[in-house]
Amino acid sequence: MYGRRQERAQFFRHHGFRCTLPREVILDILYKTKSHLSAEDIYFKVHPIYPQIGLTTVYRTLDLLNKMELISRFDFGDGKARYELIKEGDTSHHHHLVCRKCNRVIDYTDFMKEETRFIKKIEEVLSKKHNFEIDSHKIHFQGLCSKCKSEGR
Amino acid sequence: MYGRRQERAQFFRHHGFRCTLPREVILDILYKTKSHLSAEDIYFKVHPIYPQIGLTTVYRTLDLLNKMELISRFDFGDGKARYELIKEGDTSHHHHLVCRKCNRVIDYTDFMKEETRFIKKIEEVLSKKHNFEIDSHKIHFQGLCSKCKSEGR
DNA sequence: AATGGTAATGAAAATCATTTTCATTAAGGA
DNA sequence: TCCTTAATGAAAATGATTTTCATTACCATT
Ligand SMILES: [Mn+2]
Ligand SMILES: [Mn+2]
Ligand SMILES: [Zn+2]
Ligand SMILES: [Zn+2]
């Protein structure tokens, strides 16, 4: 889906959208870069190669990709939204440690099996109880990263 | 701590801060109101009774209460931070369902025993593995609330 | 391959939550 | 009561995101 241009084009059109250069480029950046990019991060990566692509379009494209569930949007509390590609096959799902001092974000995948099982059970009960259609969840731990800890809060 | 003026004053001073009218008033609002209030929500509740208290002070006070760990701050993704009092005795800890359409927030306390046990185990392992000092966690589920579901996404 | 209807784009302006500035006020220890 | 200085409030500044609107370029159709 991410690798081949043809596939991406198909995917956009399948959702009723056009496959445009900005959309391809931005999706590419997300594909190649680890994670937790803000709109501005992406803009600055795109700009040297495609200076005609504007920040506005980055915002719009991120919204679109998020709605198409190709990316996840996170609000870690530093005032800017961050985005991460959802890889195929659900192998990429994970949770986060967030440093409340320097805002560093650490991915972790430990316990995913157990978390998944646990989450599934909770979802089942809560969605019935509150008649709420659950489609995703977020778990994160907050505290001090090793660097900030050693620097003394 | 929240009920008696004397206690609150003690608490502020104990942390090296002065006990002022705006601080008392804002803490009172948080005490009396269920939950998930934004700075502006609080400002509008305060204003009719204390019109001299400004929005700036609300922001500053919320920061302070958050640092003193009297309240929790949440970013549910609608662009404004929301706050909730942490009740004494840790009886109030809970997690959330967030509607991605209307931003409604539902508290749930089901499974807290199991979650707490599970979270504790994860914290232990992760804090060692990443040398990360974990002090809190947030769990929330996203989806469509009953109202938005019936209205058709 | 050329055409046309319209979705997508980009630059600039607008919006909105939050922060900063700075002159004034008022806690609260002496 | 007095004095030091933390806290406050109004206004301005900031910074992320959204809106506006004239222009561009996908892509279904010819
Ligand atoms: Mn991540
Ligand atoms: Mn809550
Ligand atoms: Zn850190
Ligand atoms: Zn809803």
- Across residues B62-76, what is the average pLDDT? 96
Whether A137 has its CB under 8 Å from any CB of chain B: the answer is yes
How far is residue A153's CA from residue A147's CA, in Å, rounded to a whole number?
Answer: 10
The backbone region for B118, taken as left when phi is positive above 0, alpha when psi lies in -120 to 50, beta otherwise, is: alpha
Return the SS3 of A84: strand
Residue B105 sits in the same domain as residue B58 = no
> A147 with A102: CB under 8 angstroms?
yes
Residue B45 structural domain: 1-87
Same domain, yes or no, for B75 and B96? no
A133 pLDDT above the threshold of 70: yes
- Domain end call among B68, B87, B106: B87
Sign of CA dihedral A45, A46, A49, A52: negative
Burial class (CB in 10 A: 0-12, 13-18, 19+), B24: middle
**Domain check: are A97 and A77 in the same one?**
no
Question: What is the four-CA torsion angle of B57, B63, B65, B67, rounded to 10 degrees?
Answer: -150
Q: What is the mean pLDDT of residues B143-148?
A: 95
Whether nucleic acid strand C comes within 7 Å of the CB of A38, the answer is no
Domain boundary among A70, A87, A104: A87
> Would you say A37 and A30 are in contact if contact means Cβ atoms under 8 Å apart?
yes
Contact between the CB of B80 and strand C at under 7 Å: yes
B56 beta carbon to strand C: under 7 Å? yes
Q: What is the pLDDT of residues A10-45, one digit of tens each?
A: 899 999 999 999 999 999 999 999 789 999 999 999
Question: Which residues 42-101 of chain A have a CB under 7 Å from nucleic chain D?
Answer: 55-56, 59-60, 63, 79-81
Q: How many whole angstroms separate alpha carbon B14 and alpha carbon A152? A: 21
Section B13-26 average pLDDT: 96
| In a shared domain, residues A8 and A80 | yes
Higher pLDDT, B112 or A82: A82
Q: Do B136 and A135 touch (CB under 8 A)?
A: no
Kindly tell me the burial class for residue B68, based on how many C-beta atoms sit within 10 Å of its own C-beta (0-12, 13-18, 19 or more). middle
Q: Are A69 and A99 within one domain?
A: no
| pLDDT of A88 over the 80 cut | no
Please indicate, yes or no, whether residues A48 and A6 belong to a single structural domain of this protein: yes
Both B108 and B78 in one domain: the answer is no
Are B119 and B147 part of one and the same domain?
yes
Residues of B in contact with A139 (CB under 8 A): 137-139
A9 CB less than 7 Å from any atom of strand D: yes
Q: How far is Cα A63 from Cα A70, in angstroms, rounded to an integer?
A: 10
Per-residue pLDDT reduced to its tens digit, B84-103: 999 877 678 899 999 999 99
Domain boundary among B33, B61, B87: B87
CATH number for the domain that contains residue A47: 1.10.10.10
Note whether A125 and A109 are same-domain residues.
yes
pTM exceeds cut of 0.85 = yes
B82 and B100 belong to one structural domain: no
C-alpha to C-alpha distance for B147 and B144, rounded to whole angstroms: 8
Supply the CATH number for residue A111's domain. 3.30.1490.190
- The packing angle between helices A21-32 and A55-67, to 10°, is 70
> Within this chain, do residues B105 and B142 fall inside the same structural domain, yes or no?
yes
Asked if B138's CB is within 8 angstroms of A138's CB, the reply is yes
**Minimum-distance CB partner of A137 among B122, B136, B142:** B142
Over residues B57-84, mean pLDDT: 96
How many structural domains are present in chain A? Answer: 2
Tell me whether B69 touches chain A (CB under 8 Å): no
Distance between CA A150 and CA A51 in Å, rounded?
41
Do B13 and B64 have their domain in common?
Answer: yes
Q: Which value, to the nearest 10 degrees, does the dihedral of the CA atoms of residues A12, A16, A22, A23 take? A: -30
